[in-house]
């Protein structure tokens, strides 16, 4: 559903809802006649805010890892990319959301008509805590947002995962009951409880796959049960994504990739290695290429004043030609005056410009910025099933899952501008080339191909690529940094803001090289 439909409600919410604080005493709010109490709160307003915070959390988590994962070009060291303040905002948002969750579910306990909202909110809470555990391992959970614990302690990631599986099942049960009214403004599934359930089951699949290295038998049985139940995300119509609007200031509703690159000129550099791979690795160009990237020019950089890496042998790509004007991973060079020359985000997912115009972004014919943030896609579900079938022997043929995953994602991308589709011949050639390589490969190479194709299909949200990389050390086509960025992070530290105010002895500084509970790979395996 479009953000435009909900922004007025959201503006009202900002003024109406209470401030997120981990130890807020709800009883004092109820007693205060000037504060919001359970009897006066509109559950749909609360749920609307929770949905937007859920979107923001997913987006920010992806932005946190897109530099290290080479989806955004960064010259920062891995130590800086995983610095002590990086997760300050995400941590605060998580516990603000959790406070709203508690408030809403207290209302739902007294009103059966709120059971839909309660079920969906449980699923969102489980996803948000899972994302945080995947980054930090330990989180505040059992003592969170509880006035009795002004300095709440940490729960280990493995135990939190167990609780989150249970929470998802509770959310599914709420939705399957058929009780409760759909939200007035469902930003993801338009009040379709079946799609919420499919998302919940697919998220459980993600959790089982994430933990397969340390819970092999449990992951295998859990995934097989989900396959047998046959209620996972299967089509593009099942995808969970947030749709932006087309309005500019004062109520900006457009995709951040659009506002950051199409208003006054490019604000990001596209990764050379990915553009090169998508253009050159198959007998045909990747069918998504012209949707992912928009070139403002067809000419190449003339000299090092336009592109500083030209002539530097340390850069394996630097300039790949054909007007694809990007950068290599770890490029430390200063930025020249190239804002109207760089390649930028295209039609997918930002609804920018299709790559057939070759004029600067300010003058380009765009789709207005009403793009999407992908939270969980049906194609990703198929990639998960492919990895599980290959590594755990779960039900199904990994090649079949891989083919379905690629085709689903190409279908989604081309759906953003069907008139420019490369056609079935090009799509079939691309898919057949990938499958030929897959079927001829050994198991390690097959896992690499799954991870690579999943990476390409994750454009717009790097979260799962970071998990896949730590779990598998693939895809191998990721570009080595052109300078020493240090050892690749295995986790993120607990946020500095929390450590500044929480005196609980649990909050000690941890090394970014210490793996999270589900990562048992050897040291130094990542780059």
pLDDT at 392 > cutoff 50: yes
> pLDDT-based confidence at 41, cuts 50/70/90?
confident
Is the residue at 338 inside a domain? no
Q: Show Cβ contacts of residue 146 under 8 Å, excluding neighbours closer than 6 positions.
A: 23, 152
Nearest CA to 18 out of 41, 51, 39 is that of 41
Is the residue at 125 inside a domain? yes
Please tell me the predicted confidence (pLDDT) of residue 2.
41
Is the residue at 188 inside a domain? yes
Secondary structure (3-state) at 3 = helix
Task: State which H helix or E strand residue 240 sits in.
Answer: strand 240-243
Is the residue at 428 inside a domain? no
* Lowest model confidence (mean pLDDT) among 6-15, 105-114, 507-516, 518-527: 6-15
d(CA 257, CA 344): 9
d(CA 188, CA 344): 27
Mean pLDDT of 441-454: 98
Q: Show Cβ contacts of residue 217 under 8 Å, excluding neighbours closer than 6 positions.
A: none
Please tell me the predicted confidence (pLDDT) of residue 37.
53
Please tell me the predicted confidence (pLDDT) of residue 195.
98
Q: Are 20 and 53 in contact (CB under 8 A)?
A: no
> pLDDT-based confidence at 40, cuts 50/70/90?
low
Domain with residue 165: its CATH number is 1.25.40.390
Mean pLDDT of 203-223: 98
Nearest CA to 346 out of 196, 460, 506 is that of 460
Looking at the DSSP bridge assignments, the partners of residue 373 are: 242
Is the residue at 117 inside a domain? yes
Nearest CA to 519 out of 455, 466, 449 is that of 466
pLDDT at 506 > cutoff 60: yes
Instruction: Quote the domain boundaries for residue 126.
Output: 3-44+88-243
The count of structural domains within the chain is 1
Torsion of CA 293, 474, 406, 194, to 10 degrees: -100
Is the residue at 104 inside a domain? yes
The radius of gyration of the chain from alpha carbons, rounded to an integer in Å, stands at: 23
pLDDT at 66 > cutoff 80: yes
Is the residue at 314 inside a domain? no
d(CA 340, CA 122): 45
Q: Which residue has the higher pLDDT, 360 or 7?
A: 360
Render pLDDT for 248-269 as a digit per residue (tens, 0 to 9).
999 999 999 999 999 999 999 9
Q: Show Cβ contacts of residue 222 under 8 Å, excluding neighbours closer than 6 positions.
A: 204, 208
Q: Which two tokens stand for residue 359?
A: 């004029």
pTM of the model: 0.92
The string of DSSP letters for 261-319 reads TSSSS-----BHHHHHHHHHSSSS--TTHHHHEE-S-SSPP-STTTSTTTT-TT-S-S-
* Lowest model confidence (mean pLDDT) among 251-260, 382-391, 481-490, 501-510: 501-510
The string of DSSP letters for 330-385 reads T--PPP-S-TTTS-EE-STTT--B-TT--S-TTTS-B-TT--EEEEE-HHHHHHHH
> pLDDT-based confidence at 433, cuts 50/70/90?
very high
Mean pLDDT of 478-482: 96
> pLDDT-based confidence at 14, cuts 50/70/90?
very low
pLDDT at 32 > cutoff 60: no
Taking the chain, what is the end-to-end CA distance rounded to the nearest angstrom?
Answer: 39
């Amino acid at each position: 559903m479009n953000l435009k439909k909900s922004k007025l409600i959201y503006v009202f919410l900002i003024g109406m809802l209470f401030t997120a604080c981990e130890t807020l005493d709800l009883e004092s709010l109820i007693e205060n006649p000037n504060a919001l109490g359970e009897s006066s709160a509109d559950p749909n307003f609360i749920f609307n805010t929770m949905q937007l915070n859920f979107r923001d959390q997913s987006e920010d988590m992806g932005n946190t890892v897109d530099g290290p994962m080479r989806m955004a070009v960064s010259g920062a060291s891995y130590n800086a990319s995983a610095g002590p303040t990086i997760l300050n905002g995400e941590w605060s948002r998580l516990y603000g959301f959790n406070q709203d969750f508690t408030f809403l579910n207290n209302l739902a306990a007294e009103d059966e008509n709120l059971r839909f909202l309660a079920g969906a909110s449980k699923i969102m809470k489980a996803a948000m805590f899972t994302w945080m555990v995947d980054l930090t391992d330990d989180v505040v959970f059992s003592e969170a947002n509880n006035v009795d614990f002004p300095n709440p302690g940490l729960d280990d990631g493995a135990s939190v995962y167990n609780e989150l599986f249970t929470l998802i099942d509770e959310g599914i049960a709420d939705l399957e009951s058929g009780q409760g009214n759909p939200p007035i403004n469902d930003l993801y599934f338009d009040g379709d409880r079946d799609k919420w359930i499919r998302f919940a089951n697919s998220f459980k699949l993600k959790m089982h796959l994430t933990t397969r290295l340390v819970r092999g038998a449990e992951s295998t049985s859990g995934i097989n049960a989900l396959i047998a139940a046959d209620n996972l995300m299967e089509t593009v119509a099942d995808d969970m994504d947030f749709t932006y609007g087309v309005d500019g200031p004062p109520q900006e509703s457009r995709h951040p990739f659009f506002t950051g690159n199409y208003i006054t000129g490019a604000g990001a550099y596209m990764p050379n290695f990915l553009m090169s791979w998508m253009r050159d690795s198959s007998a045909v160009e990747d069918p998504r290429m012209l949707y992912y990237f928009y070139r403002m020019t067809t000419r190449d950089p003339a000299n090092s004043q336009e592109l500083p890496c030209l002539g530097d042998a340390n850069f394996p790509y630097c300039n790949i030609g054909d007007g694809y004007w990007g950068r290599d991973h770890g490029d430390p060079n200063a930025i020249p005056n190239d804002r109207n020359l760089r390649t930028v985000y295209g039609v997918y997912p930002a609804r920018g410009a299709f790559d057939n115009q070759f004029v600067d972004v300010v003058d380009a014919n765009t789709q207005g910025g009403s793009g999407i943030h992908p939270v969980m896609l049906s194609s990703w579900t198929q990639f998960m099933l492919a990895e599980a079938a290959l590594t755990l022997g779960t039900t199904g043929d990994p090649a079949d899952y891989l083919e379905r995953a690629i085709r689903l994602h190409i279908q989604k991308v081309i759906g953003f501008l069907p008139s420019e589709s490369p056609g079935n011949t090009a799509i079939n050639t691309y898919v057949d080339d990938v499958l030929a390589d897959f079927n001829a490969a050994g198991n390690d190479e097959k896992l690499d191909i799954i991870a690579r194709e999943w990476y390409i299909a994750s454009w717009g949200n790097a979260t799962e690529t970071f998990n896949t990389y730590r779990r598998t050390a693939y895809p191998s086509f990721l570009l080595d940094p052109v300078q020493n960025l240090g050892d690749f992070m295995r986790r993120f530290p607990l946020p500095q803001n929390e450590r500044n105010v929480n005196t609980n002895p649990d909050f000690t500084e941890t090394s970014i090289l210490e793996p999270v509970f589900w990562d048992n790979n050897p040291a130094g395996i990542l780059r």
